Amino acid sequence: MSAVLGADAHHHHGPAKGFKRWLFTTNHKDIGTMYLWFSFAMFLIGGTMALVIRAELFEPGMQIVHPEFFNQMTTMHGLIMVFGAVMPAFVGLANWLIPMMVGAPDMALPRMNNWSFWILPFAFAMLLSTLLMEGGGPNFGWTFYAPLSTTYAPASVNYFIFAVHMMGISSIMGAINVIATILNMRAPGMTLMKMPLFVWTWLITAFLLIAVMPVLAGAVTMMLMDINFGTSFFKAEGGGDPVLFQHVFWFFGHPEVYIMILPAFGVASQIIPTFSRKPLFGYPSMVYATASIAILSFVVWAHHMFTVGIPLAGELFFMYATMLIAVPTGVKVFNWVSTMFRGSLTFETPMLFAVAFVILFTIGGFSGLMLAIAPADFQYHDTYFVVAHFHYVLVPGAIFSIFAATYYWLPKWCGNMYDETLGKVHFWMSFIGLNMTFFPMHFVGLAGMPRRIPDYALQFADFNQISSVGAFVFGTTQLLFLFIVIKCIRGGKKATAQVWEGADGLEWTLPSPAPYHSFSEPPTVK
Amino acid sequence: MMSRRRAIAVASPVPFVSASASAAWELNMTPGVTEVSQSVYSLHMTIFWICVIIGIVVFGVMFWSIFNHRKSKGAKPAQFHESTTVEIIWTVIPFLILIGMAIPATGTLVKMYDASEADMDIKITGYQWKWRYEYLNQDVNFFSNLATSQDQIYNRDDKGEHYLLEVDEPLVLPINQKIRFLVTSADVIHSWWVPSLAVKRDAIPGYVREAWTVIKEPGIYRGQCAELCGKDHGFMPVVVKAVPQEEYQEWLLAKQELARQEYELKNKQWTMEELVARGEKSYASNCAVCHQANGAGLPPTFPALAGSGIVKGPVEKHAEVVLHGVSGTAMQAFGAQLSEVDIAAIVTYERNAWGNKMGDMITPQQVAELKNK
Ligand code: HEM
Ligand SMILES: [Cu+2]
């Protein structure tokens, strides 16, 4: 079927009509678009859950939900944001941009590309449907520690496991596609060390995905066996060990957090030079730093487990390794700042998001460094301080970079400029909302408020109230983003091919909007 | 808001904590009352200031560029884009700073891991959703439950000063003694945490993990379960009451005497009214979190007891469910947690409450027989 369509598409050199275009498409731009819309839908659903959480935490006492439902909200919020919003958004950007950046006509494996997208809506429909099942949806946290997620889990856990398997398959296929495209389809002259950093960071991310998604699949499969087939991987009474689960999970989990941030590093490394009108400082060291972060990310996992009681030698090893990861991370930040230094800066919306990314991500890196100090982590662990840390690296990190990328490349995608004033309003509202939400969490965390609790002691009330207000500011602002994007797609000032004065790279040599099939003839790279 | 905060500071049960220290507790980590907690605090402050200084330098340069190297101010872009020297400098300097940080951190960590030569041992067991404390070799053991009322939680009553951080029976410990904690769990993973002691240790079912402390000052130290453990994770606080050695000895003796009396109760002849009265209280602290005070439960996870087939069935069967639990569900084996008297009281109460008019009872002696069967 799809073979016929593929041949068909070749004849017309344009998209098919109607619904079938999207269902059967093998075009990297169509698939990229679908990934991005899907991810935005998940962002709104996951965000709504966050607002339920923040509304309940607005003041002490139980007001709007029960503790069981609260736990389902925290769990689903985490799962949906990680697997539904951030990861698919980056795959969407990879689809749109990698072929255009390396001078290829499409992704290397277009049919697999179609499939890896279309698995996702089914996986998430299944995951979300558990909320309506008897006993409720997953309520054991996005880290789903056994035995809370096995012996003590609601019956819907099997659907959760199946959904995670599907997401994993989708991610692995996406990653294979990225690697195959980058390694085989670069235009003549596009050597590895000439590739844009977005391509580099995605190449490394794709290897991380292939390395760790199977580990996650292993973890959920062991859960499935423990729950349904009488094994005891994680059951002490049968000779297993609940802590084994944490080792396996975090062996996936820590590289996973870098999966969510490396492509963001790539985005910032594209945007900052453009609006500084100056080449990226230290390109080779950026590549090496990214690679070292990726390699180190395999040997730091137990920093999430400092309080479980691993032996002293292990504790020390993981503390040193985690501290070490701050070095290449620092190098990246220094390079971005040096790129801006003595440039000729302008602050269009993509640049605003990129600069905020550097500042706020660095703050998240600082709290990461604090968390790396194992003895201090005994006080920080599982408090709101950790919640503040990872939201600082993920929201102004991953999410802001996705916003920045959208504003930066949207004119190339749809041929129109977005509304700059509204873009700036979106930025400032998001910036204020985000800091209001997450900065006070550092304080309540240090003052002793555990994470994942539906109600709290009175001394935490003031800061929680500020957080909740901030969350609603941030959340509602994202509807403005939706409006801006739709408005831009429907019309606006026509974009030039280069779009931005300082932009450099193959994608800017194509007309705006980029044609349905680009680089059928490989471009030459100087 | 302000008045509430001041109220907490003034009414602080710890006479040694000044109002200003208590205000700092609002924003920052507590320095705590042990040597370890104080070194943890100083590590925290050191790494914090290191981050602040690096931040000032990095953001300083950045904002300098943001303000001065603007195109609108006519800035012309320089074209430099590489310097191996600076790359090496900003790799090596952070590396050295981190080594400087790792040394004291290692020292503190080694100290935290040395639980040897303790003066006494306390076994701590996490349950959904309460803690059990056993004073090893002292014949004292008890459960510690949240003392805040449901009315306060559901906003039907004013919230007290120690809302959610108060228990029916705190862990009483002597000061200036090295106390070793043996931490484990009966169901899911919990984490026993008291910020003022800088002790946070995961309670893992089937395994025992160690921690230790030497408390320097008497006082009441409050903490919470730190690992998501299900529905009432937010409602299982930890309260430690640290007292001078003599006071601790008195408390221990009284507690041992009480245990003996409890034991005697087993042989007393109980009437149904007495059992129901005692059962209502025990039910409230042990069963109501899941099956609810009105017996309606939270189906399907926590079934209703009002009108339940088991409660209205044969009394032996009913008592056995309470004694041995139901495997694969959240229903625990209370035989290992509660005395025969309490089990008899709870079963009798359940059979005669919320319209379950069974009109029968079970005695502690019968429960003991069932238990040994
Ligand atoms: C300088 C680099 C970083 C260091 C040293 C670092 C260190 C740590 C440590 C030690 C923890 C465990 C804290 C605890 O649970 O007690 C942690 C948690 C976490 N970090 Fe980082 N981190 C860094 C960067 C990042 C980045 C870039 C991301 C993601 C984009 C990230 C995402 C997370 C997440 C999601 C958690 C919490 C997971 C959970 O328990 O739910 N971190 N980090
Ligand atoms: Cu990590």
Instruction: Identify the nearest ligand to the CA of A322 by its number.
Output: 1
**Looking at the structure, do residues B314 and B225 belong to the same domain, yes or no?**
no
* Domain that includes residue B85, residue range: 35-113
Cβ proximity of A511 and A97 under 8 Å: no
Number of structural domains in chain A: 1
**Would you say residue B12 lies in a domain?**
no
Cβ proximity of B275 and B345 under 8 Å: yes
**Would you say residue B2 lies in a domain?**
no
Per-residue pLDDT reduced to its tens digit, B67-95: 999 999 888 888 888 889 999 999 999 99
Distance of CA B353 to the CA centre of its chain: 31
**Looking at the structure, do residues B246 and B285 belong to the same domain, yes or no?**
no
Picking from B188, B202, B228, the nearest residue to A452 by CB comes out as: B228
pLDDT the model gives residue A105: 94
Contact B198/A319, CB-based, under 8 Å? no
**Would you say residue A246 lies in a domain?**
yes
**Looking at the structure, do residues B142 and B177 belong to the same domain, yes or no?**
yes
What confidence tier does A110 reach under pLDDT thresholds 50, 70, 90? very high
pLDDT score of B38 more than 80: yes
pLDDT the model gives residue A10: 47
Per-residue pLDDT reduced to its tens digit, B109-159: 999 999 999 999 999 999 999 999 999 999 899 999 999 999 999 999 999
**Looking at the structure, do residues B255 and B277 belong to the same domain, yes or no?**
no
**Would you say residue A522 lies in a domain?**
no
pLDDT score of B3 more than 70: no
pLDDT score of A106 more than 90: yes
- Closest residue by Cα to atom 14, ligand 1, is A381
Number of structural domains in chain B: 3
pLDDT the model gives residue A526: 72
- Closest residue by Cα to atom 21, ligand 1, is A368
pLDDT the model gives residue B290: 85
The domain that contains B253 carries what CATH number?
Answer: 2.60.40.420
**Looking at the structure, do residues B175 and B47 belong to the same domain, yes or no?**
no
**Would you say residue A235 lies in a domain?**
yes
Tokens of A121: 């809506």
Percent of chain A residues past pLDDT 90, beyond the cut: 93
| Lowest pLDDT segment from B20-29, B118-127, B189-198, B259-268 | B20-29
Per-residue pLDDT reduced to its tens digit, A209-242: 999 999 999 999 999 999 999 999 999 989 999 9
Q: Which of A386, A395, A441 to mutate to test the pocket of ligand 1 (most atoms within 8 A of CB)?
A: A386
For residue B224, what are the contacts with CB-CB under 8 A and spacing of at least 6? A448, A450, A453, B164, B165, B193, B234, B236, B237, B238
pLDDT score of A131 more than 70: yes
**Residue ranges with CB less than 5 Å from ion ligand 2:** A 254
Q: Which atom of ligand 1 is nearest to the CA of A257?
A: 29
* Domain that includes residue A349, residue range: 32-509
pLDDT the model gives residue B22: 41
**Contact A257 CB / ligand 1 (< 6 Å):** yes
User: What value does the mean pLDDT take over residues A183-202?
Assistant: 95
**Would you say residue A523 lies in a domain?**
no
Kindly list the residues from chain B whose CB atom is less than 8 angstroms away from the CB atom of residue A147. Answer: 187-189, 205
CA dihedral B55, B58, B61, B67 (to 10 degrees): -60
Q: What is the SS3 assignment for A205?
A: helix
pLDDT score of A2 more than 50: no
Crossing angle (nearest 10°) for helices B315-324 and B340-352: 130
Q: State the number of CA atoms in the 13 A half-sphere of A191 facing the CB.
A: 4
**Looking at the structure, do residues B284 and B343 belong to the same domain, yes or no?**
yes
The domain that contains B285 carries what CATH number?
Answer: 1.10.760.10
**Would you say residue B23 lies in a domain?**
no
**Would you say residue A76 lies in a domain?**
yes
**Would you say residue B362 lies in a domain?**
yes
Per-residue pLDDT reduced to its tens digit, B158-186: 999 999 999 999 999 999 999 999 999 99
Contact A61/B153, CB-based, under 8 Å? yes
What confidence tier does B265 reach under pLDDT thresholds 50, 70, 90? confident
The domain that contains B73 carries what CATH number?
Answer: 1.10.287.90
The domain that contains A484 carries what CATH number?
Answer: 1.20.210.10
What confidence tier does B202 reach under pLDDT thresholds 50, 70, 90? very high
The string of DSSP codes covering B212-225 is: EE---S-EEEEEEE
pLDDT score of B267 more than 90: no
What confidence tier does B308 reach under pLDDT thresholds 50, 70, 90? confident
Ligand 1: distance of its center to the CA of B272 in Å? 57
Highest mean pLDDT pick, A20-24, A200-204, A519-523: A200-204
pTM of the model: 0.90
User: What value does the mean pLDDT take over residues A121-143?
Assistant: 95
DSSP code of residue B58: H
Return the sign of the alpha-carbon dihedral for residues A12, A13, A18, A20: positive
